[in-house]
Structures are given as C-alpha cells and as structure tokens.
Amino acid sequence: MINDELLQKMYEQMIFIRKFETKALEGMRRGKVFGSLHTGVGQEGAQVGVANALEPDDWAFLSHREHGVLLCRGLDPKPFMAELYARKTGTFAGKSGSVHIADLEHGCRGSCAILGGTSALATGAAFANKYKGEKRATIVMFGEGSSNEGYVYESMNLASIWEVPLVFVLMNNKYAISTPIWTTTKTTTFTDRAKAFQIPSATANGMDPVEVYEKMKAALDYVRTGQGPYFLEVNTYRYNPHSGSDNQFLYRTQEEVNWWKQKDPIAAVERLLVDKDLLDADKIKEINKKYDDIVGEAVEYANSSPDPDLDEVFTHVYSSEVTL
Amino acid sequence: MREIKIVDALNEAIREEMLRDENVFCMGEDIGAKGGIFSVTKGLLDEFGAKRVRNTPISENAFTTAAVSMACNGGLRPIVEIMYEDFIGVCWDAIGNQAPKIRYMANGAYEMPIVFRMQGGAGFGEGAQHSQSWENLFCHIPGLIVMMPSTPYDAKGLMKTAIRSNDPVVFIEPCTLYNSKGEVPEEEYLIPIGKADVKREGKDITVVALGQECANALEAAEILAKEGISLEVIDPRTLLPLDFDTVKKSVLKTGRLMVSHVAVKNSGYGAEVAARIVEDKEAFAALKTPVCRVCAVFTPVPYSPVLEKAHFPQVEDIVEAARAMMK
C-alpha cells in the first residue's frame, strides 16, 4: 500500500499538471503556442501513478500526451512552457515544441510522430542498457490508437526475444483522434496481444492513481529481474479534444465526457485525503494557489523570453565534425 | 601492395572497428552464421559472439528504429544491415524520420552514431523489387551522410569513417562490385567525409560517376582515349555532403560535365550535380556543351537479362554520350 505522503504528492502533481496544460492550451488560443498541443486532462491519475513508480535513473519514452510525466519527473515548468512558446529559453531552444520535447536530465527520452515508433525507440534503449550492464528499467507510454501499428508488435517481439527490461504502458483513452477503439479492433483488452509474445501483463484503472502506481511498481519489479518485458494496459479518458483545435462533439457526446468526469482522479483523491483528515478547504485553496503561481510564473517567463536567433535554423543538423 | 575484394575490405573495416570499440556491434537479417547474403559479416559471429553480431527477425521497421535509439540514447554504435536497398520502404521512419532529426529537434542534445549498410544497384536478374537505387532519396534528407564507394580502398576507408562518425550514415554498397579487386594497404587509414576522388585525370569531359558507373566510366575512358577523347572521372564517394569544389575545379578545366549512375535519370543524383554546376557563375560560364546524364531509363528494373541490360547504362552509353558531347 502507498503511504499518505505519496498520496498527497500525487494529488498536488495532478493539480500541477492540469493547471499547466490548461494554461498551455490558453497560450495556443492566444496564438503563442504553435502546431499541435495534445493535452492529457483527465489522464493525470494514470500519469502520476506511472511516474511515481519509476526510480530516478529509469528511462521513460512518452507519447505526445504525456506532459504530465515530464512535470512529475522534474522538468522545470519555465523552460517547458518556453519551449511550447517556441522561445530561445525553451528546453530545446524552440526546436522541438510539445511533440518532441524530452528531458534527458530526468530520464524522459522523448516522443515521436509515428506513434508506434516510440515502442521501437524504447526497445532499443532497453537493449543498449542491457548490453552495457546498466541496471535501469525503461518504460514506453503509448496509446490504444497506435497499438494498431505493426511497429508496436515488431517491437514487442524484439523486446520479448531480447529479454530487455522494458514496461509497455498502453494508455487506453478510447479515441485515436476521432476514431473510437471499438471501430478499429475486435480486441477488448490489449493484454491479449501481449500474451501472443509471451509477455506477462495486467490492466489498471487509470482514474485511480493508487492502483496504477501499485501495478506499475509490480511491472517494474518484474522487468528488473531480467526476465524480459511486461505489458500494462491503463484504462483512462481524455476530457479535452485531441489537440488544440478539433471539435470533439463530432465524434462523441457531452454526456459521455460528463460520465467520465464523474470519475475524475483529482476529485477522487481529494475525497480520499479529506476522509483521512489530510486535507481541508483551506489546504485545497492553498495548494491551488501554489500551482496557479508556479504555472503563472512559467507563462510569464515564456512570454517575456526572446525568439531564437535566426542563425539557429542551421545549428545541430549535423555533429560538429561535418560541414556542408 | 596486396589486392583484395570490396566484400573483404568491408569485412576488415567492420572487424577492425569492433576490435577498437566494444560499443560497435552489428545487427540485421542473416548476418550471423551466414555472414549476410553477400558475406560482408562472415566470420564475425565466431570472433565476437552473438551479443555483438546479432541476427534479427524480419522486422526491419522496428529493428532499424531500435538501432537509432541504441545509438542516440544508449551510446552504442550500431552497424545495421538492410539486406536490400529496396527494403528501405519499411525502414523509412528510422532512416528518414528519426536518425536525421533527433539531434536537431533536441538542439544538439544527442549524438547519432549509426551506420545503415545496404547493397544497391543490380545486374543479377533480381527483378523490380530487389534492384533499386534510391540514393537520391537519402540525399534529400538534411541530417544524413550518404556514402557509396566503388573501390576496395574507398570501401574500407569510408566504412571505418562511417562507424566512427557521430552522424547517421547511409552506406550503399554497389552489389555488382562486391567481388571487384583493388589495392588496400595493411596499415590503417580513414577517408574523410565529403572528399571526392579523381579516379582518372583528363581534359575534355568531367564524368561524375557513382558506384558501378564509376567502374564503367573508367572502362569508357580507355576506349575513348584511343580516339583522342580524354575523360576526367570523379567518384564523389560521399554523395551527401558532395565535394562540390572538386567537381567544379574539374569542370572549369574541361568545360563539359557528364553524370552517370545506375539509378533512373528522373530526379536522380545527376540532377543535383548538374544544378549545382549551372547555379555556379564560374562553372556555368565555363560550360562548352549542355550537361549530360547517363543513367538508367525511367522504368522499373526488369527481370530478363536482356531487358535489364537495356535498363541500366552500359559502358557503350558513356562512350556514345562522350562522343556526342565532343562533336
């Protein structure tokens, strides 16, 4: 069982993530954030459960919707927001944006456009760690939509035969942009697919961070034994549209979204903490203010930062050894 | 000096680099006990073991991208064999999308020490899906290095450079030249990235020739010399980045440019070389004739040996094109 301290930490992290992403979306509406921004509002319970189960030295390969994991693992919200704002002071100086952001210092090793490919990147990283005798575990978070890419199954097969310490974390939020999962597969649980590769598996309720944390811990314990990969399917739901700009009510109803909001992970943990006398109205207010301030400062930092210098367009195409 | 085949020169290069650095390792289909379908990795499994010479399942999509991550995240230096250049269709995310972009997107936070080896060209009746030359697709991608040797000396020196490079290298091995022999010193040497080699000096026509066509151009030069036509044959060796200075210098001398490759002419590498020359004021002013491309015709590669020969540029095609340029 997890202790009260961790429960309080996860509660605060969920509030932090939701406020950060909500502000980032606002930035997009104001024309400050460009391209696509995929928020995970509703999925914070799954994110904090996964992130807190990791050891600091473990590596996480993420999807485009896992800003929350980056925040949990320690990415400073100021350069993070500045990256979304495409500023010189951003994590990657305005060259990655939301989709390709990473944080090598805290073991977040990036995400990519072909979503199934992240599984291959994670498999390769886990292989390299094993090759070099490193003890760390690796995880990859990906969606049920990209789970219909052959890329994922080739990767699961490689991870299985190479017996690498890797946890496949499938975040099943039911929709691939607008396409519901029940129209693209007859699978009702993706753990069936893991069985095909002799990969042990479990499912977790993603609206319950405690359950996710415990199942993730067990998954990591397993892969650290060196017996090979593990597969965890986390059932969750995003409340927002796919990205900053689509109309979600073309493909699902407000009633459906409301039904999931009744299961909101922040509200659920809040009730739990209140029941345990670990939280009251004043404390809730205080925590909300704390993260309003932190996120507000990040927005201010991003907004007041300069654009990248124009000659940066040419830097880091190649290593320093190559001149064109 | 001893003479060895290209296939053995490549094998030596890989073996030497594996001895030099334990993070160098090979992966690909059938590269273990069989040593690869053209035997480039023969003997390496016995010497280095299965940890470092790793047979993969037929899963090019995932194992090429996994290798990208082994390089940029894991600090390894993978040499990935893609059995046929044609198979890059299922490796394109790794080669076109991941390896050349990750450093840039992360503002220089990663190195990308990976080599994608593949055989290109054709001539053995393998048909339309095992015979293609797609070097120009790679040359369109900022972030990649593209190499194609035509001699054993260049094959060895370039491969060693490729393995030590911190940039992703696409290394194309012309399959028709694997068994061609040439001088290779015993002692170690490297060939720098982006340095062309003048394979034969001449004064009338600059011929920039890739892979098999470099061998053909040298043969054509012998024939034409008897007619008083002198070819200067340049092998770029590194297609991306191109050693433009060497090509330009030659064109300033000859006033004529021919480009030859076994890839189809349309939008091929010859178009890039020609465009670079005509964009350059001095080189353009030096041209006495229009530039000329001697390349494969714009069809898939046919199976029949007779049709296959008609598809690919032959020595006679270079000879005739040169004669026409001198008229």
Q: Which residues of chain A have pLDDT under 50?
A: none
Which helix (H) or strand (E) segment holds residue B47: the answer is helix B44-48
Residue pair B114/B63 in contact (Cβ under 8 Å)? The answer is no
pLDDT score at A1? 64
Asked if B61's CB is within 8 angstroms of A150's CB, the reply is yes
Q: What whole-number distance in Å separates Cα of residue B130 and Cα of residue A157?
A: 26
pLDDT score at B83? 97
Domains of chain A with bracketed CATH: 4-305 (3.40.50.970)
Task: Report, in angstroms and rounded to the nearest whole number, the Rg of chain B calculated over CA atoms.
Answer: 19
Which helix (H) or strand (E) segment holds residue B259: the answer is strand B257-264
B167 closest CB neighbour out of A123, A150, A322: A322
Cβ of residue B56 closer than 8 Å to a chain A Cβ: yes
For residue A269, give Cα distances in angstroms to A9, A18, A51, A274. Answer: 11, 14, 16, 8
Q: What whole-number distance in Å separates Cα of residue A107 and Cα of residue A105?
A: 6
A 97-116 residues with CB < 8 A to B:
100, 102, 104, 109-110, 112-114
Residue pair A121/A109 in contact (Cβ under 8 Å)? The answer is yes
Cβ of residue A313 closer than 8 Å to a chain B Cβ: no
Q: Which residues of A touch B111 (CB under 8 A)?
A: 319
Q: Which residues of B touch A95 (CB under 8 A)?
A: 104-107
The two three-digit tokens of residue B101, written as one number:
């972009």
Is the ipTM value over 0.85, yes or no?
Answer: yes
* Residues in a beta bridge with B120: B174
Q: What whole-number distance in Å separates Cα of residue B145 and Cα of residue B311?
A: 28
Q: Which residues of chain B have pLDDT under 50?
A: none
Q: Which residues of B touch A128 (CB under 8 A)?
A: 69-70, 73-76
Residues of B classed as catalytic: 130
Cβ of residue B102 closer than 8 Å to a chain A Cβ: yes
Asked if A157's CB is within 8 angstroms of B57's CB, the reply is yes
Question: Which class for A317: exposed (0-12), middle (13-18), buried (19 or more C-beta within 10 A)?
Answer: middle
Cβ of residue B98 closer than 8 Å to a chain A Cβ: yes
Cβ of residue B63 closer than 8 Å to a chain A Cβ: yes
B307: closest CA of chain A, how far (Å): 36
Residue type, B214: C
Residue pair A91/A80 in contact (Cβ under 8 Å)? The answer is yes
